[in-house]
Amino acid sequence: MNIHEYQSKEILKGYGVTIQEGIVADTPEAAAAAAKELNAKTGTEWYVVKAQIHAGGRGKGTVNETGSHGVVLAKSLDEVPAKAKDILNGTLVTHQTGPEGKTVNKVLIAQDVYYPGESDPKEFYLSILLDRAKGCNVIMASTEGGMDIETVAENTPEKIIKEWIDPAVGLQGFQARKVAFALGLEGEAFKGMVKFIFSLYKAYLGTDSSMFEINPVLKTSDNKILAVDAKVDLDDNALFRHKDLAELRDLSEEDPAEVEAAQSGLNYVKLDGNVGCMVNGAGLAMATMDIIKLSGGEPANFLDVGGSANAQTVEAGFRIIMKDPNVKAILINIFGGIVRCDRVANGVVEAYKNIGEINIPIIVRLQGTNAEEGAKIIEESGLKVYSAIVLKDAAAKVKELI
Ligand code: GDP
Ligand code: MN
């Protein structure tokens, strides 16, 4: 589960990670008030207005309606509301959002931390994630902060430092020092970075996260180490033991059909083809998508209704698939192992009647326990549903109908 930058920073702060302070706002007036509060708290006179969306690249991204970037600097309190207005409710397009962009509902008003001083501010990259191949967490760091890490990895892989953490002994002092040293730090900044890495690792473990990415981590001109950006990816499978974190979920950032599917216990991924499909079992679902392509169609989705398909799950699946206007036909492919085909067939007929007005052809392929009985129920229903027992026939039917 992804969360916003301002939420990520709150979590980090709770674990003692030093951050660029900020206050979230959803109107230009609230932005002005936030800036005032921030001024009282930190003494800052310059502010950064940052769009809060679940995507990176905001600094270089553009708001369609106003041409503003997604991260902008305000050099006085008075500039803050207008700059917030240029971003709020706009559509921000970045290299991570796709051309359709994302609507900005909130902005983070943050203190400016790039002020001049005895040395230049310096941006670093720091992340912690699970290395599945090695079966342990890895800390990745780079002197090339603020840049797209994929680009760094491709062009100058030697500039990425990796430090693997032994799960039995945890993060060791020498490892944090090794990273800070490799980043070229010394004195106060070196100590600050070591502390930063330890707090960050504690936060990563404490929240059961699957990824933390701080890009950039800033060494300020007076040698403080701060998280300027924060991307936290929480492990969905651990949310049951983090009720407070589960509440940070922002459904407006997620695909509505995928949200509805998750609520009905279905595994649904929207794709951009023309043949919807509903299948029991992930492997069979993938094979079904291949069959759709083979017969000249393009899958409109991946949908696994799980091992025990019944009338309710079939109906929920139908409704979700039919929300997609691109769908020209639906292929239901169920293998009756534990579930009986006649039960599924009844479920399909019942769901069809409940939904009403389905004006696209539906092909139902039932195989396994009671397949013949299932096919009979479909054929005798009088509905615009085609039955097939053999997958080859189902594919031929898809081809004919699209
Ligand atoms: P992203 O573009 O979505 O990754 O957003 P970031 O939070 O990483 O911010 C993008 C860029 O904005 C940073 O790399 C900085 O160059 C700039 N920025 C962020 N905070 C400040 C600040 O306090 N002052 C100034 N001058 N620039 C900042
Ligand atoms: Mn960033």
Task: Give Cα 314 distance to the centre of its chain.
Answer: 27
Residues with CB under 5 A from ligand 2 (ion): 215, 229
Nearest to 165, CA basis, from 150, 177, 153, 175: 175
Residue of 38, 44, 114, 226 best suited for mutating to test ligand 1, as the one with most atoms within 8 Å of CB: 114
pLDDT at 360: 87
Last residue of a domain, one of 111, 137, 170: 111
Determine how β-strand 225-227 pairs with β-strand 106-111. unpaired
* 236, part of any domain: yes
- The verdict on whether 213 is a catalytic residue reads yes
Distance 146 CA to ligand 1 centre (A): 8
pLDDT at 384: 81
* 283, part of any domain: yes
Last residue of a domain, one of 57, 89, 111: 111
pLDDT at 354: 87
* 3, part of any domain: no
Q: Which DSSP string corresponds to 225-255?
A: EEES--EEEE-GGGGGG-HHHHTT--GGGS-
Write down the residue that tokens 């916003």 correspond to. 4
Same domain? For 200 and 307 the reply is no
Which residue's CA is minimally distant from atom 12 of ligand 1? 59
Question: Is the peptide bond preceding residue 216 cis, with omega within 30 degrees of 0?
Answer: yes
Same domain? For 135 and 235 the reply is yes
Per-residue pLDDT 10s for the chain (402 aa) are 999 999 999 999 999 999 999 999 999 999 999 999 999 999 999 999 999 999 999 999 999 999 999 999 999 999 999 999 999 999 999 999 989 999 999 999 999 999 999 899 999 999 999 999 999 999 999 999 988 888 999 999 999 999 999 999 999 999 999 999 999 999 999 999 999 999 999 999 999 999 999 999 999 999 999 999 999 999 999 999 999 999 999 999 988 888 888 888 899 999 999 999 999 889 999 999 998 998 888 999 999 988 667 778 888 898 899 888 899 999 999 888 888 888 888 888 888 888 887 888 889 898 999 999 999 998 898 888 888 777 778 888 888 887
Catalytic one among 6, 47, 125, 352? 125
Same domain? For 163 and 71 the reply is no
Task: Domain count for the chain, please give it.
Answer: 3
pLDDT at 295: 87
* 164, part of any domain: yes
- The structure's pTM equals 0.83
| Position in ligand 1 atom list of the atom nearest CA 146 | 14
CATH of the domain at 216: 3.30.470.20
User: What span, in angstroms and rounded, lies between the C-alpha atoms of 344 and 307?
Assistant: 11
* 14, part of any domain: no
What's the per-residue H, E or C state across 267-299?
Answer: EEEECCCCEEEEECCHHHHHHHHHHHHHCCCCE
Distance 49 CA to ligand 1 centre (A): 9
56 lines ligand 1 (CB under 6 A): yes
Cβ atoms 320, 300 nearer than 8 A: no
* 385, part of any domain: yes
Same domain? For 106 and 128 the reply is no
Distance 56 CA to ligand 1 centre (A): 11
- Where residue 362 falls (left for φ over 0; alpha for ψ -120 to 50; beta otherwise) is beta
Annotated binding site for Mg(2+): 215, 229
CATH of the domain at 292: 3.40.50.261
Would you give the DSSP letter of residue 307?
A: S
Determine how β-strand 385-388 pairs with β-strand 362-368. parallel
229 lines ligand 1 (CB under 6 A): yes
User: What span, in angstroms and rounded, lies between the C-alpha atoms of 292 and 396?
Assistant: 10
CATH of the domain at 61: 3.30.1490.20
pLDDT at 313: 84
Same domain? For 146 and 35 the reply is no
pLDDT at 264: 86
Cβ atoms 303, 267 nearer than 8 A: yes
Last residue of a domain, one of 111, 138, 156: 111
pLDDT at 164: 98
Burial call 320-338: b when 16+ CB within 10 Å, e when fewer: bbbebeebbbbbbbbbbee
* 16, part of any domain: no
Same domain? For 127 and 227 the reply is yes
pLDDT at 134: 96
Same domain? For 238 and 326 the reply is no
What is the CB neighbour count within 10 angstroms for residue 243? 8
User: What span, in angstroms and rounded, lies between the C-alpha atoms of 249 and 164?
Assistant: 30
203 lines ligand 1 (CB under 6 A): no
Same domain? For 187 and 317 the reply is no
Same domain? For 134 and 106 the reply is no
- The verdict on whether 254 is a catalytic residue reads no
Tokens standing for residue 241: 């033991």
Same domain? For 103 and 179 the reply is no
Same domain? For 184 and 132 the reply is yes
Annotated binding site: 50, 57-59, 113, 123, 215, 229, 280, 337-339
pLDDT at 5: 98
* 222, part of any domain: yes
Structural domain that includes position 377: 256-401
Catalytic one among 213, 268, 315, 352? 213
Same domain? For 31 and 102 the reply is yes
Would you give the DSSP letter of residue 78?
A: G
